[in-house]
Structure 1
Amino acid sequence: MKPSDLDLLNSVSEPALSPDGTRAVVSVQRPDFAADAYVGQLWSVALDGSAPRRLTRGFSDSSPQFSPDGSTLAFLRSAPGGRPQLYAVSADGGEPVQLTDRHLGVSWFRFSPDSSRIVFSSREPEKGRYGTLDGVSGGAEDPRLVTTLNYRMNGAGYTRDKFVQAFILTLPDLAAEPFVTPAGRAAEGAEKKSGGLPESVKLTSWEADVQNPVFSADGSSVLFTAALHEDADTDLVTDVYELRADGTGEPHRLTNLAGSRLTASSPLQSSDGRWLYYLGQDLSETGLDFVARNTALFAAPMADPSAAVRLTEPETTDLAGGGIVPADGTDVLVFNLDRGGCELLRAGHSGEVRALVSGPRVVTGAACASGTVVVTFTDPQTAGDVAVVDPSAPDSLRVLTDFSAGFREQAGVLDLHEETHPSADGYPVHGWVVLPEGEGPHPVLLNIHGGPFSQYGWGLFDEAQAYASAGYAVLMCNPRGSSGYGQEHGRAIKEAMGTLDLQDVLGFLEGALEAHPELDAGRLGVMGGSYGGYLTAWTISQDHRFTAAIVERGFLDPLSFIGSSDIGWFFSAAYTGSDPGHVLSQSPFAQVDKVRTPAMVIHSEEDLRCPVEQAQRYYTALKLQGVPTEMLLFPGENHELSRAGTPWHRRQRFEHVLRWWARWLPTKANPGDESAGAASEPAAARA
């Protein structure tokens, strides 16, 4: 894979399955260099094995959902530069009908059981902000008076002046004559209408985000999650609430009724209305101990929500891979992170849990209807495809699509080799190696993932493919601190960052070098983003075997992080402790004087998760002590640059990364020519 191949990567949304179980609909999206945006449409995938077909032709169509009666397909559509709005079309086809025109777009929606209404989520901006008042730009808005700890979020900016609220609309007749805007004489005195859109009724108006609203089984109420309790600004607790669908009455809290302190999410009522399901993480008595807390499935009788039962064991099972999907009967489907994969599990209120899909893949979505389960997934050969589950064999899928065929044909896909190597104390460290073509000796790039409670896995990973195609052996592992291996594995570095995790990544490196004589132990690079940027910076302050490094969007100074990051008020103390001396003993910035390794620093200017000051101060310190360094700053991007940044910025990032490695670790495929790949085409040539 070359950086220019990025626009060949098709990702696939969670599937929508028709109620009769005969076809699935997914959104297929890809980065497009010409538009410098993500484009995609809905595709219909028949379960009989016939060829998939493009269903819509919007600029960016996503999040398809069938109505329960199968008559309607709703989805989100974005125009170039616009916000996603809700659309609906007859399931038989036709022209989609626009349903909303929300100023900040729609982020989530679900049908009512009788298919007549839709509940959706949207940010509601304060009047006078975010362009809601003509002539008042962002820089001319009124000042913000901040009185809370939690007031902004990476990717969203300030949040307390645009809370997420819930709305309900009644579906119009999709076959009715289209609305025509009155013109000329007819416009005089005509009743003002919002382009013929159905009225959206605001259901909530609280100073809190209302997440994942869904109708109850009888459609009379709406379930959602929010932090409405008195101390919501000083803990991470969220609850499931129930509110009448007509907006009357007070919300009724359904979780944390027996003294628990959970982050509750993804509420869903069973089809018979008797059971409430939700996901939850136990935050301990403080309401803040989120470190390596696995997500569990809970069930409670609607008649007595305080009698909730935990159905999965959080020590060994982590359902953070997705939400809750209704299955036939009263069962549900959930997504378990396990050793770099994501399994699909089926669970019921009685406590039985069994795997439907496992093996070397990452299940990204699922749907169930008429006894059939379909999934979307990624594995070492695909960035996203659709398959039917064989209920008798957990590892058996009947794959229906091949949306990565073009990428494989043009860019090629190098094999992912699963390996386990011992850490210094004998602890097994699980991971993968991607080898370049040819005999070697190959220079090595040790990649470190973010999180830290995250994981490398079995999915097709563009970064590993790009670096291996350029002649580098790419090493990726899940050291202690990662998810997918149990809570003890994840909590091993709590208030001990840079200890066992450093030991583990170096142990995996040494084991791979010993197992692969074609790797060049004298030509090593190390790189990572976010927590991976932290551990990269920490590694080169403690170990000087690496030729060069790349520190990207790093958590580099836990002390300044507290006041500058959107999550700093709780993250630093949870992971590095609160004693200043102990915090400094885990801080890469406090150890920067020990760095001798040339290091490139990459960051985004609008990153609120790891703010740009972390990079600027680290780069300046390296520069002042004479360490070869560069700092690459991306305007208009946030913490998600490498995954969801604009296509041209993602491509330019790849080109600069390869330019840096060509300087310090040149290969035949990536020669050390300073001019090669230093910049992308000029802006005028992008289209």
Structure 2
Amino acid sequence: MKQLIMEADITRLASVTDPQYSPDGKKLAYVQTKVNKKQDSYDAHIMVFDTETEETAQWTFGTGRNQHPRWSPDGRMLAFTSNRDDSSQVYVIHTAGGEAKKVTDIPYDVVQPEWSPDGNYLLCSVKLTKTESVKDEKKPEIEDYEPLEVDSLTYKADGQGFKRGKYTQLVFVQIETGDMKQITACERDHVSHAFSPCGEKIAFCANLTEEDDNRVNDVYLMTLSSGELKRLTGQNGIFSSLSFSPDGKRLAFLGHEKEFQNATLDKAWMYDFEKDELTCLTEMLDVHLNDAVAGDSLVGGVLPKPAWTKDGNGFYVIGTDQGSTGIYYISTEGLAYPVRLEKEHLNGFSLRPDETGFAASIALPVWPSELYDIALGEDKAKRLTDANEDFVKEHIISTPEEFQFETADGLTVHGWLMKPAGFEEGKKYPLILEVHGGPHAMYANAYFHEFQVLAAKGSAVVYVNPRGSHGYGQDFVNKVRGDYGGGDFDDVMAAVDHVHAHHDFIDQDRLGITGGSYGGFMTNWAVGHTNRFKAAVTQRSISNWVSFYGVSDIGYFFTDWQLGADLFEDPDKLWDRSPLKYAERVETPLLILHGERDDRCPIEQAEQLFTALKKMGKNVKLVRFPNASHDLSRSGHPKQRIKRLQYIAGWFDSHL
């Protein structure tokens, strides 16, 4: 008999990510991540699927995270990173068998290995200060009482904490000897590196302007023999995901020139080295070429770089559209169209060497991420792995029902309704509204554990993509900017009205609302502007834009980008759009969940709201999660993730 889904079942889920075909197409490496209950952490292992025998073999074992598998150009070796010895180092394993060889052994994490075309070197990333070196034998210890000197606005980052002068530098690693050579030294982050096919040049992204808080990420080409740098973009955009064409004459990448600040769709770009010309290939494509899905059940996802065809006439990338992600083909002439766009969350892919199809990691609404084989031109996908099969077979999984409606100002809003797991005709059920973060993200046709838990507890769940969400074009994603708590609030409330009007099993007197980050802002805003909700749970939220400006790692530019107001130019607008201003109106019982190491929405946002409501005698409770960052719900400690779900479900159980 199938069981109802429980909060702790999140430890049963496996994440299948980052598929990588071997050069001959006979093997398919990928990463499978699971919860290690004993250590309250995650174990990630390199798995290899044999395309001829259709059998999977596990290539790494033990505890820790083994990630980023990359085949050598001749297919004889597989490089990957592993933190099995505390820090993340690069290992190489021969495909003929044997133990993995530790290639790097330094006191700093080494990540993102990429092979040189001749197979003799790896180009990797290491975070270093100006006084640290890949030659160091011991990592400098930082005493608890050591003062932190701050002279930059970018001194901290969520999930990383205080940077303490560390920047991502690029290093060469010689495969045979393990010798390492640092090739960048500027005190800026150098990311998204790629080798040219000739091996004489590399490309990477960095902000090398005079101001380290300048919100740009340019593309650079470095000639290795001389160290000469050439900037390929105009110091006005944010770019990443670099990939050379097979002949080395072109470089493809993704990004935008901030026309709508961080609400701008990522586009496909190409630099032609012979013409010395930069071109946006998808100017007319109203699709975000990235993975914008908001979820809680995928750990370790990796956005693939543009995958060129052998003839160099185009490449494949992931695109976000209409509640799904798929594979888009982009030609060098600017032709762009989807080759795979189904109702699913396709979070990674690898092009077959013979270019007849793809291997893709895909999550479905009723089945967490697995590896699939997709023939080019065919809709049907063949599942290759069964990492989550037992979980799916043993549990009652609610199937989301899609809907859409037109807003009062003529927009179309897309969403889903999930019935309670034990739904019975004729009974009335509470309804919980979920609001995603971002706001420039998207709920999708994907498994979402939190929703399944709430459905298993006997609630219907509605979740929608209001204006500001990705997946519905540039105008739609931009409409929230300058209007937080306006049209977006109308959209989510209209969703509640829509499902109530079309489903008589919803009890209008038992409505709940929850969300995190921007969704937490919207929860706070909602309870200050309507008493329709009988219970609310706000997570990692924003309550006061005035203080957010100075305490968030992104506050000093995000408030201007999103609210259209700077603290010193229009403080009244920041306060008017702050849920804290309306605390006296709140009558809804409110549970506040917040991580103590959240640098994106620092915990003072929760403290201010809690203090105000408690002083006024409101029904409010604050739960603090020690050492948890903004990503608690997605990649936090498993025990804390379970506790979080228990708090959410328990609050709604008590009040609905």
TM-score range, shorter chain: over 0.9
Residue 419 of structure 1: aligned partner: 403
2:41 is the counterpart of 1:37:
yes
Question: Contact between 1:357 and 1:396, CA under 8 Å: does it hold in 2?
Answer: no
CA distance in 1, matches of 2:141, 2:122: 33
**Bigger shift: 118-127 or 477-486?**
118-127
Aligned with 2:120 (options 116, 123, 133): 116
Change (3 A) 1:135 1:19: closer
Q: Report if aligned partners of 1:291, 1:491 keep a CA contact under 8 Å in 2.
A: no
Q: What whole-Å deviation, never above 9, does each CA across 1:301-358 have from its counterpart, x for those lacking one?
A: 11344x2111113661111223423233123221111111111112231222232211
Q: Which amino acid aligns with 2:288?
A: D
Change over 3 Å in CA distance of 1:93–1:355 after alignment to 2: farther
Where does 1:674-685 land on structure 2 (aligned, <5 Å)?
none
Tell me by how many angstroms 1:438 deviates: 2.3
Of residues 306, 309, 313, the one that matches 1:328 is 309
- Displacement of 1:520 in angstroms is 1.2
Partner of 2:602: 611
Amino acid at match of 2:471: G
Tell me the amino acid that sits aligned with residue 243 of structure 1: M
551-560 or 372-381, which moves further after superposition? 372-381
Give the 3-state SS of the residue equivalent to 1:228 in structure 2: coil
CA offsets, 1:568-594, max 9 Å, x none?
110011111221222222111112121
SS at match of 1:299: strand
Matched-pair contact (CA < 8 Å) for 1:83–1:104: yes
* Partner residue in 2 for 1:318: 288
What CA distance in whole angstroms lies between the structure 2 residues aligned with 1:167 and 1:462? 39
Alignment-derived partner of residue 333 in structure 2: 350
- Contact map agreement 1:315 1:487 (CA 8 A) in 2: no
AA at the equivalent of 1:164: T
**What residue in structure 2 maps to residue 651 of structure 1?**
642
Letter matched to residue 278 of structure 2: A
From 165, 187, 193, the counterpart of 1:213: 193
Report the AA paired with residue 295 of structure 1: D
Unpaired runs of at least 5, structure 1: 173-196, 666-687
Q: Give the superposition deviation at 1:404.
A: 1.3
1:552: how far off?
Answer: 0.5
AA partner of residue 595 (structure 2) = S
Does the CA-based 8 Å contact 2:154-2:212 persist in structure 1? no
Q: Amino acid of the residue matched to residue 477 of structure 1? A: V
Aligned 8 A contact 1:109 1:213 in 2: no
Q: By percentage of residues, which structure has more strand? A: 2
Taking the aligned partners of 2:493 and 2:257, their CA distance within structure 1 comes to 32
Taking the aligned partners of 1:49 and 1:335, their CA distance within structure 2 comes to 29
Choose 460-469 or 431-440, whichever is displaced more: 431-440
**34 and 410 in structure 1: CA distance in 2 versus 1, 3 angstrom threshold:** farther
The one-letter amino acid paired with 2:215 is: L
**What does residue 192 of structure 1 align with?**
none
Alpha carbons of structure 1 residues 267 and 136: separation in structure 2 relative to 1, 3 Å: closer
Which of the residues 193, 208, 217 maps onto 1:238? 217
Secondary structure in structure 2 of the residue aligned to 1:14: strand
Is 1:264 aligned with 2:239?
yes
Q: Secondary structure at the match of 1:459?
A: coil
CA contact (8 A) 1:155 1:638 kept: yes
Structure 1: how far apart are the matches of 2:389 and 2:466? 33
In 1, the alpha carbon distance for the partners of 2:458 and 2:53 equals 39
Amino acid at match of 2:81: L
Asked if 1:273 is matched to 2:244, the reply is no
The match for 1:47 is 51
Which of residues 477, 481, 487 in structure 2 aligns to 1:494?
Answer: 481
Counterpart AA for 1:303: E
Asked whether the equivalents of residues 208 and 227 of structure 1 are also in contact (C-alpha less than 8 Å), the reply is yes
Query: Matched residues, percent identical?
Result: 30
Which residue of 471, 481, 491 corresponds with 2:468?
Answer: 481
Equivalent position of 1:558 in the other structure: 545
2:90/2:111 contact within 8 Å kept: no
Q: Match for residue 591 of structure 2? A: 600
1:149 corresponds to which residue?
153
Q: CA separation in 2, counterparts of 1:78 and 1:632? A: 32
What is the rounded CA distance, in whole Å, between the counterparts of 2:137 and 2:129 in structure 1? 8
Give 1:19 deviation, angstroms. Answer: 0.9
Whole-angstrom distance in 2 between the partners of 1:262 and 1:527:
34
Distance 1:460 1:239 in 2: 35
**Residue 13 of structure 2: which of 3, 9, 25 is its match?**
9
Residues 602 and 315 (structure 1 numbering): CA distance in 2 closer, same or farther, change over 3 Å?
Answer: farther
Q: Which moved more, 1:40-49 or 1:91-100?
A: 40-49
**Which amino acid letter does the alignment assign opposite residue 443 of structure 1?**
P
CA contact (8 A) 2:130 2:185 kept: no
1:57 and 2:61 matched? yes
Contact 2:47 2:60 in 1 (8 A): yes
CA distance in 1, matches of 2:531, 2:20: 51
Q: Distance in 2 between matches of 1:402 and 1:364?
A: 17
**Is the 2:549–2:559 contact (alpha carbons within 8 Å) kept by the matching residues of 1?**
yes
Q: Shift in Å at residue 278 of structure 1?
A: 1.3
Aligned to 1:671: none
Amino acid at match of 2:508: A
Given candidates 185, 203, 212, the residue that maps to 2:183 is 203
Which residue of structure 1 aligns with residue 574 of structure 2? 583
Amino acid at match of 1:658: A
Q: How far, CA to CA, are the matches of 1:20 and 1:134 in structure 2?
A: 41
Quote how far apart the aligned CAs of 1:423 are.
Answer: 2.9
* Alignment map for 1:18-33 (pairs within 5 Å): 18-33=22-37
Are 1:533 and 2:520 an aligned pair? yes
- Output one character per residue of 1:290-309: Cα deviation in whole Å (capped at 9) or x when no partner: 2410000011211344x211
Partner of 2:271: 300
The answer to whether the 8 A contact 2:168-2:188 is kept is yes
Q: Is the 8 A contact 1:76 1:85 kept in 2?
A: yes
- 2:367 matched to 1:382? yes
Report what 2:295 is aligned to: none
| 1:375 Cα deviation from its structure 2 partner | 1.2
Distance verdict in 2 for CA 1:201–1:582, change over 3 Å: same
Question: Which residue identity lines up with residue 326 of structure 1 in the other structure?
Answer: A
For structure 2, the residue ranges without an aligned partner over 5 or more in a row are 292-302
Contact 1:383 1:404 in 2 (8 A): yes
Aligned AA (1:50): E
- Give secondary structure in 1 for the equivalent of 2:553: coil
Q: Does the aligned pair in 1 maintain the 2:188–2:212 contact within 8 Å?
A: no
In 2, Cα distance between equivalents of 1:204 and 1:290? 28
Q: What residue in structure 2 maps to residue 627 of structure 1?
A: 618
Output one character per residue of 1:44-80: Cα deviation in whole Å (capped at 9) or x when no partner.
Answer: 1223462323222142212111112111111111227
* Post-superposition offset of 1:126: 5.6
2:392 to 408, 414, 418: 408
Instruction: Indicate the SS of the match to 1:84.
Output: strand
Q: Is the counterpart of residue 229 in structure 1 residue 220 in structure 2?
A: no
Q: State how 1:507-518 maps to structure 2 within 5 Å.
A: 507-518=494-505
Give the SS at the match of 2:528.
Answer: helix
**How many pairs are equivalent?**
627
- Give the SS at the match of 1:370: coil
Q: Which residue of 1 aligns with 2:416?
A: 432
Which stretch shifts more, 534-543 or 84-93? 84-93
Counterpart residue identity of residue 40, structure 1: A
- Asked if structure 2 preserves the Cα contact closer than 8 Å seen for 1:226 and 1:241, the reply is yes
- Give CA-to-partner distance per residue, 1:85-139, whole Å, 9 cap, x none: 211101222211111234331231211112221101111146599x997894441
Contact preservation (8 Å) 1:160, 1:207 = no
Residues 315 and 488 in structure 1, CA contact (< 8 A), matched pair in contact too: no
Matched, 1:392 2:377: yes
Give distance in 1, aligned partners of 2:139 and 2:33: 34
Q: Retained in 2: the 8 A contact 1:346–1:355?
A: yes
The CA RMSD over aligned residues, in Å, is 2.0
